[in-house]
């Protein structure tokens, strides 16, 4: 009995589900995801509030711009996950001391 053969799919092929290359959109999605992870993970140490707040702020900006120009559902999925993590890190970074806490003033 013949069975359907599944081919291996990479992350890039999942992001380019329409068959066209989207290098700018894919880069923004991956950068937003990485910045969101950095912002969220650095909130566990309140002394890293500068890293979490700045990474979160930049991650929110790249995520919003990526949502504006995204082409596929895979890109939007990664952007939303990254945006949520970046916003979480940003707000907790602000609560722990802010963007300039202790450095200026």
Higher pLDDT, 77 or 104: 77
CA diameter of the chain: 74
CB 64 within 8 A of CB 84: no
pLDDT in tens, 42-63: 999 989 999 999 999 999 999 9
- pTM of the predicted structure, to 2 decimals: 0.85
pLDDT value for 55: 97
Cα–Cα distance measured from residue 50 to residue 97, given in angstroms and rounded to the nearest whole number: 8
How confident is the model over 79-102, as a mean pLDDT? Answer: 92
Cα–Cα distance measured from residue 77 to residue 87, given in angstroms and rounded to the nearest whole number: 16
């Amino acid at each position: 009995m013949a069975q359907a053969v599944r081919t291996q799919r990479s992350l890039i092929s999942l992001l380019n589900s329409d068959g066209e290359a989207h290098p700018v959109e894919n880069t923004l999605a991956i950068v937003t995801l990485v910045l969101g992870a950095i912002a969220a993970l650095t909130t566990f140490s309140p002394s890293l509030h500068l890293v979490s707040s700045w990474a979160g702020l930049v991650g929110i900006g790249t995520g919003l711009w990526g949502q504006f120009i995204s082409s596929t559902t895979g890109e939007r999925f990664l952007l939303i996950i990254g945006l949520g993590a970046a916003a979480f890190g940003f707000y907790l970074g602000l609560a722990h001391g802010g963007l300039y806490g202790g450095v200026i003033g």
